[in-house]
Amino acid sequence: MTPFPTTGTAAAEPETAERIRDVNTRYHDGAAAHYDAKWGIDWGDVGRDQVLGKLEKLLGRPLPRFERSLEIGAGTGYITLHLLRAGIVADATATDISPGMVDALRGNAERLGLTVDARVADAERLPFDDESFDLVCGHAVLHHIPDLDRAFAELHRVLRPGGVVLFAGEPSRNGDRIAVVPKRSATLLAPVWRRAIGARPAERGHDDGGEENHELEHLVDVHAFVPDELRRPVEAAGFADVRVQGEELAANWFGWFNRALETTARREDVPLRWQKYAFHGYLLFQRLDRRLLEGRLPAGIFYNLMVVGRKAADGERPAA
């Protein structure tokens, strides 16, 4: 079994792929109940525009309609449920290694009146026939998967010829390093900030499923990518026209600073006015990133990386 270093700060020894999958399952089971609140997941038009905007930017054109989609590491359903809501996808399947997340996703689908085939599955072993989908996608999941070559080989197998593969929200190595600055600054300023807004300190582990999850948190992430590391397994699986893009820089500085402050306070003590400032400020910085920085600076500088590719159509000659 190949040992993996983890990207966390306190890993004492290399982890095995099996343990990484097990830890991811337990950690995300514990996090599922508070996941949407913790990450401010919006199930209305703002969330929908975020998802469609990301995927359109990556595809470089308006999203076409897909007949059958598959999402891996779908969590509570952020991508799939918004694609369904927007009518981009007709028939959606969403998978996750964590049964707790799959339950949360089913609950969200029911509340939104959407029909989705939600299943527990490891991205490296997909329980689907060859050529079953015309879109395979995911958000913030690849960095948890021990064997990306195996996962992309599976995604290539279940995708129909001519189908599209899309992933967004993957941490870049540079972005991860840069984000340490706003996180540390916020930690230093947190006591002053809590006094200013009259908030009590947070209970440890509350949002992530308690003390056990606090211990697992530094073990769940196994990759932070430079663009070529993200491109390689996609191309190795046989996908064509593979492109990696970066997104969000200023928005992530702003977002991480505020998030790091907020995690030190009890959620119920953070005033609505602050939450609105943090949310709308993030959207403003996101627009600035899009207009001024993305596409002008190298992908690896940004906090998040995205990758798109295509399964060659039957009879298509590979590009020279």
Ligand X SMILES: C[S@@+](CC[C@H](N)C(=O)[O-])C[C@H]1O[C@@H](n2cnc3c(N)ncnc32)[C@H](O)[C@@H]1O
Residues that bind ligand X (CB under 6 A): 21, 24, 28, 72-75, 78, 96-98, 101, 122-123, 139-141, 144-145, 169
- For residue 121, the minimal CB distance to ligand X (Å) is 7
For residue 8, the SS3 value is: coil
> Whole-angstrom Cα distance, residue 161 to residue 134?
8
Closer to ligand X at the Cβ: 47 or 189? Answer: 47
- By beta-carbon proximity to ligand X, the closer residue of 28 and 160 is 28
Smallest distance, Å, CB 24 to ligand X?
Answer: 4
Q: How far is CA 224 from the centre of its chain?
A: 12
Toward ligand X, which CB reaches closer, 100 or 182? 100
Minimum CB distance to ligand X smaller for 54 or for 194? 54
* CA distance to 28, 123, 144, 163, per residue, from 136 (Å): 22, 11, 17, 8
Q: How far is the CB of 119 from ligand X (least distance, A)?
A: 11
Question: Phi-psi region for residue 140, left (φ > 0), alpha (ψ -120 to 50) or beta?
Answer: left
The answer to whether 29 and 98 are in contact (CB under 8 A) is: yes
Minimum distance, C-beta of residue 4 to ligand X, in the bound complex (Å): 12
Nearer to ligand X, 163 or 169 (CB): 169
Q: Smallest gap, in angstroms, from Cβ of residue 312 to ligand X?
A: 25
Q: Which is nearer to ligand X, 51 or 190 (CB)?
A: 51
CB of 140 to ligand X, least distance (A): 4
Q: How far is the CB of 221 from ligand X (least distance, A)?
A: 9
- Of 194 and 302, nearer to ligand X (C-beta) is 302
Q: Which is nearer to ligand X, 43 or 193 (CB)?
A: 43
Report the alpha-carbon distance of residue 160 to residue 66 in Å, rounded.
11
Copy the structure tokens of residue 171: 């941490």
Complex with ligand X: residue 134 or 208, whichever CB lies closer: 208
DSSP per-residue letters across 126-188: --S-TT-EEEEEEES-GGG-S-HHHHHHHHHHHEEEEEEEEEEEEEBHHHHHHHHHHHHHHHH
> Nearest-CA neighbor of 303 among 225, 254, 247, 255?
247
Task: Give the nearest distance from C-beta 83 to ligand X in angstroms.
Answer: 12
Kind and range of the H or E run holding 70: strand 66-71
Residues 6+ away with beta carbon under 8 Å from 215: none
Residue of minimal Cβ distance to ligand X = 75
Alpha-carbon span 255 to 52, nearest angstrom: 20
Alpha carbon distances (Å) from 117 to 56, 90, 131, 136:
24, 12, 17, 14
Identify whether the C-beta of residue 306 lies closer than 8 Å to the C-beta of residue 54.
Answer: yes
**Min dist. Cβ of residue 184 to ligand X (A):** 22
